[in-house]
């Protein structure tokens, strides 16, 4: 199947779903209140776009996700690498990392909001907390996974421990982190959303919560679609990065 043909075919099921949905809404107008309708969603999109609210909420969630992801991945990688340098520190900190890593972000989110307020900062920190441990463990695994033969080789060729770290260990760790980039960006998005859901003034999570309060199902769907759009967008952005990181495999 050619690429355009595949695209057309993959659009069809979604289109069918919308048509059936709309037909149902026409047939039973009273159901509109509970399940909404594509036409109602389109109306909501137009209305929120016109007021600039949709774009603002979309942008806020996207920015929170990116910042949380970058901070968590960067610092996590750094810490993971440092833990490679000292086995003792790693062993001491491992139970804490495992504890933090297995904690659902939902549990920490209220405290974070209590500390940082309902703005973007608290969402970034929640995103950071959800990605940090993954990045630490990925980086540490990658560093520990560095081929001992390559380390020996570097030394035989006259390289120092610094050379070993910079040329073998760090790339090996970075590759692991980059390879896990999609997982981590999903975690950051989840973190941002959870934060917005609990307390916020803007963002798609905020939009959904407000819509729920107003029994505006169509607007809830707008929020859901927005989240899906952000997730797909980041997915498309991470694909080339991931491909680049894995190009030698």
Partner 1 sequence: MQSLKAEERESRGSDRDGNAWMRNVSVRLGERDMVVQVLDRVTCCFSCGQVTAVVGPSGCGKTTLLNVLAGLVEPQEGEVHTPSGDGHGRRAGYVFQSPSLIPWLSVRRNALFGAEVGRGLDAAVELRCGSLLNRFGLRGFSDAFPRALSGGMQQRVALARAVLAEARVILLDEPFSGTDYLLKWELEEELSQVVDEEALVAVLVTHDLDEAARLADKVVVLSVRPGRVKAQIEIDAPRASRLQRTGESTSLIEFWLQRIVAAVSSRDDGSDLASVQ
- Please report, as ranges, the residues that interact with partner 1 according to CB under 8 A: 147, 149-150, 152-159, 163, 167-168, 171, 175, 247-249
- State the nearest-atom distance from the C-beta of 176 to partner 1, in Å: 11
Is the Cβ of residue 117 or residue 171 nearer to partner 1 in the bound state? 171
- State the nearest-atom distance from the C-beta of 11 to partner 1, in Å: 37
Query: What proportions of the chain, in percent to the nearest 5, are helix, strand and coil?
Result: 85, 0, 15
For residue 66, CA distances in Å to 69, 208, 231 come to 5, 20, 11
CA dihedral 90, 95, 97, 101 (to 10 degrees): 150
The Cα 77–Cα 170 span in angstroms is 9
- State the nearest-atom distance from the C-beta of 163 to partner 1, in Å: 5
Residue 121 CB-density burial (10 A; 0-12 exposed, 13-18 middle, 19+ buried): middle
The Cα 146–Cα 128 span in angstroms is 26
Is the Cβ of residue 147 or residue 233 nearer to partner 1 in the bound state? 147
Is the Cβ of residue 107 or residue 156 nearer to partner 1 in the bound state? 156
Is the Cβ of residue 114 or residue 244 nearer to partner 1 in the bound state? 244
- State the nearest-atom distance from the C-beta of 87 to partner 1, in Å: 15
């Amino acid at each position: 199947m050619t690429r355009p043909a595949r695209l057309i075919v993959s659009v069809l099921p979604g289109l069918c779903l919308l048509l059936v949905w709309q037909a149902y809404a026409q047939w039973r107008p009273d159901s509109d209140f509970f399940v909404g309708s594509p036409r109602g969603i389109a109306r909501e999109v137009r209305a929120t776009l016109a007021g600039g609210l949709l774009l603002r909420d979309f942008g806020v969630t996207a920015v929170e996700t990116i910042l949380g992801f970058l901070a968590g991945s960067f610092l996590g990688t750094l810490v993971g690498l440092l833990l490679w340098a000292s086995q003792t520190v790693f062993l001491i900190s491992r139970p804490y990392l495992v504890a933090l890593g297995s904690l659902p972000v939902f549990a920490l989110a209220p405290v974070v909001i209590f500390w940082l307020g309902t703005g973007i900062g608290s969402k970034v920190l929640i995103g950071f907390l959800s990605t940090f441990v993954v990045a630490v463990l990925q980086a540490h695994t990658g560093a520990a996974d560095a081929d001992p033969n390559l380390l020996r080789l570097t030394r035989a060729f006259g390289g120092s421990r610094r050379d070993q770290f910079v040329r073998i260990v760090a790339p090996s760790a970075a590759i692991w982190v980059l390879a896990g980039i999609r997982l981590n960006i999903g975690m950051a998005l989840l973190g941002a959303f959870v934060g917005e859901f609990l307390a916020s003034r803007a963002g798609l999570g905020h939009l959904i919560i407000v819509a729920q309060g107003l029994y505006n199902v169509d607007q809830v769907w707008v929020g859901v679609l927005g989240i899906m759009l952000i997730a797909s967008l980041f997915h498309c952005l991470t694909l080339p990065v991931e491909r680049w990181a894995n190009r030698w495999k």
